[in-house]
Amino acid sequence: MSLILLKISILVCGLCFRLHATSLDCNKQNYQRGSDVTLRCDVPLLSENSTLQWIKDGGQTSNTTLVYNNSAYIILHNVDEHSEGKYYCRIMQNGSEETVMNHTVCVTQYSEGKKLVIYRQSSSHSDLLLICKSKKEYKSWKWVWETKTKKDDIISVEKGEKVQVKGTITPGRNTSATYNSQMFILHLSPVKFNNSGTYRCIPDNNNKPYTTTTLHTIRVFAEPPGGVLMNESVVLTCEVSDVTDSVSDAGLAQDGWGQRSAGQTTNYE
């Protein structure tokens, strides 16, 4: 009996230690709920038969992984509690595997007063999840979309009522369908080029928004369109919706992949 109690105590103590360790890691840096997070891993010398890969908690991750100039990037879109955990950058060569670095991702639980900037490609496979999550309870919520030329209420809901779709943007399937006093979700799917603008989540018809997200959309054209033969030239045109700050060609300013003035069309051959 005492041996069983000892084993249980060891297990409980081990669990407490892991929770405590995670808490200590999370105190170092918390990422804002709903934001896009990019993790970068650099290896000075990478042989031709070597590969770099990001792995989460020992398993594969469904998020986007890019490899560029001996650097591996993982892009976490719209981070939430499901994004939390340890991410490992591993190099695989000659049948062996080695961890180069690890990074702990912790996400804030609420989004009050935050301003986010998000980039999305305009395509049939692109989507965006905008989430208002509050510790406080509210009687009503609404999402407002604003551009340089117009301001539009998209969806709203009041206590005891159904969600009302009002604007010209059609909400995606993961948009809130019922009233929730502490959370209100707007889903855009697919993201269209003209969906760019500022999205504000406003509770109880206040003048002050609970959270603000600025969306910049990107679209790419190829000339000539369709496929080309080997050794033929192709021109790729990357167009970014009207912005005033500096962004990279891929719309991922946090990566630092060659800054270029925004709001202009860039051609590559």
The conformation of residue 225, written as its DSSP 8-state character, comes to -
Which domain-ending residue is among 172, 188, 216?
216
Distance CA 105, CA 29 (A): 8
pLDDT for 64? 62
The secondary element (H helix, E strand) that includes residue 65 is strand 64-68
Highest mean pLDDT among 43-47, 58-62, 67-71, 130-134: 130-134
User: Model confidence over 50-64: pLDDT tens digits?
Assistant: 877 888 885 666 666
pTM reported for the whole predicted model: 0.74
Distance CA 251, CA 259 (A): 10
Torsion of CA 200, 32, 59, 21, to 10 degrees: -150
Higher pLDDT, 209 or 2: 209
Number of domains, the chain: 3
Torsion of CA 123, 252, 51, 53, to 10 degrees: -80
User: Model confidence over 16-43: pLDDT tens digits?
Assistant: 333 333 443 565 668 988 899 999 988 8
For residues 202 and 261, state if they share a domain. Answer: no
Q: What's the Cα-to-Cα distance from 52 to each of 41, 43, 73, 105, 255, rounded to whole Å?
A: 9, 9, 9, 19, 17
In this model, does residue 164 exceed pLDDT 90? Answer: yes
Distance CA 67, CA 205 (A): 45
The CATH number of residue 128's host domain is: 2.60.40.10
pLDDT for 27? 57
**141 in helix, strand or coil?**
strand
Which domain-ending residue is among 54, 86, 105?
105
Which tokens belong to 235? Answer: 């021109």
In this model, does residue 4 exceed pLDDT 50? Answer: no
Domain that holds residue 163: 114-216
